[in-house]
Amino acid sequence: MTTGPAVLSATELLAAYKAGSLSPVEVTRDALDRIAAVNDAVNAYCLVDPDRTLADAAASEERWRRGEPHGLLDGVPVSIKDILLSRGWPTLRGSLSVDRDQAWDVDAPAVARLREHNAVLVGKTTTPELGWKGVTDSPLTGVTRNPWDVTKTAGGSSGGAAAAVATGTSPISIGTDGGGSVRIPAAFSGVFGIKPTYGVVPLFPASPYGTLAHVGPLSWTVADSALALDVLSGPDSRDWTAGPPRERSLSATLEAGVAGMRIAFSPTLGFARVDREVAALVAAAARTFTELGARVEVVDPAIVDPVEAFHVLWFAGAAASVVTLSPEQRARLDPGLLEICEEGATRSALDYLAATGVRAELGRIMGEFHEHFDLLLTPTMPIAAFDAGIEVPAGSQAARWTGWTPFTYPFNMTQQPAASLPCGFTSTGLPVGLQVVGPKHADARVLTACRAFEEARPWQGKRPILG
């Protein structure tokens, strides 16, 4: 299913609604039909509520009919990762330990902002249990698969969100990213995804992973993610760590271009091993920025792999997320999650503070690096998608998902904005992603650069064929 109104971008849909050539109900019906056609193959959605979704679309259609649309996303289908609370729908987080039969009467800030802007919520997308790893499978909802090759993983932990966008069931999907969970599936599934500067999008309840955890959109176009962030960045008093409201729309500066920018290209960050085919595609993508007028220099930031410090922070957060569970509930957890929880429970406060010190030094180094470079380019992933249903690729020496995600988690530690954009396909037809990293609070600059690349090397002409 590669045609139909639901495959249009959010900005195209809004223009069509304004012109009267499409209606929100027509688009939403197509989105729901597409979910029915493809979800058995990819398992992007764990909850769909057609009656409620169509009622919201009908209300939007009536506003457009009266010439009174309200909000930036009125009538646009949007899906939500099943980590974020959504009023009236259970948020089970891929876990058998969450009681479905309880009051679900609170929206997370991101969901509240979507409702205020009258997005049509089409469903909740799959996640690994408690969002703990870089692939998407869980004891509750099973395995999420890559739309380009259903034997491969879609990535994670926002794998359902990426698959939802790639299959054209929603032009925008909201994910979370604590160590790469927006960017990993964006790269593996051939869509755009951005982790904004920490605090741009308020989060409630607070993540057990603390200030590693960001909320960000995945989309088919850069403009759609900018539009989504303009919505999601609305203030919410429940998050005391969130930054101040943005003074300027991120959509307003998208067309500024990259001419004159100083851009660093680091093929390995100085410590990562990258598949040869992936490396060639990313290097070609980096050269595009030179053609667009930027000054691109091959240089590595002066950092070492912070994975051990990240593990302390991540595993301790995982342990905190299950501390109230009974022995019977713990026995039903994803075995890998239980392993890192048990390891995290052995970490002391001094261990945590030492890891925080590593994080602070990493932030200092990157801050100084960006005094010389406006942006940093890297591969998003060192490999293409591997077999679905496993945490690490066959033959890998790594025990955990962090062993094959060296380019993502460092920038959760530093809280910098980082995006993944499609930059080509391997010889076997699997997508490859280019990561664009900016200094803290330079979200507009990252989006501008991604938009410039998108115009020069558009990826929207090819979609996976399913259904």
DSSP notation for 96-136: TTS-SSS------HHHHHHHHTT-EEEEEE--SGGG-SSS-
- What positions carry a catalytic annotation? 81, 157, 181
The pLDDT value given to residue 467: 54
290 CB neighbour count, 10 Å cutoff: 14
The pLDDT value given to residue 3: 77
Treating both helix axes as pointing N-terminal to C-terminal, what angle do 109-116 and 222-232 enclose, rounded to 10 degrees? 100
pTM strictly above 0.85: yes
- CB-side exposure of 229: number of CA atoms within 13 Å? 35
Rounded to an integer, what is the distance from CA 252 to the centroid of its chain?
22
Range list of β-strands (E), 235-371: 262-265, 295-298
The pLDDT value given to residue 65: 97
Contacts of 192 (CB under 8 A, 6+ apart): 186, 218, 219, 220, 221, 222, 224, 225, 419, 420, 421, 422, 450, 454
Q: 45: part of which helix (H) or strand (E)?
A: strand 45-47
Would you call 92 helix, strand, or coil by DSSP?
coil
- CB-side exposure of 134: number of CA atoms within 13 Å? 27
Mean pLDDT in each 10-residue stretch from start to end of the chain (467 residues)?
A: 85 98 98 97 98 98 98 98 98 97 97 98 98 98 98 98 97 98 98 98 97 98 98 97 92 97 98 98 98 98 98 98 96 98 98 98 98 99 98 94 98 98 98 98 98 97 82
Pairing label, strands 145-146, 45-47: unpaired
Q: How far apart are CA 420 and CA 311, in angstroms?
A: 23
Q: How far apart are CA 172 and CA 162, in angstroms?
A: 9
In 3D, which of 418, 420, 410 has the Cα closest to residue 442?
418
What amino acid occupies position 308?
E
Contacts of 424 (CB under 8 A, 6+ apart): 281, 284, 285, 431, 432
What amino acid occupies position 218?
L
The pLDDT value given to residue 1: 58
The pLDDT value given to residue 280: 98
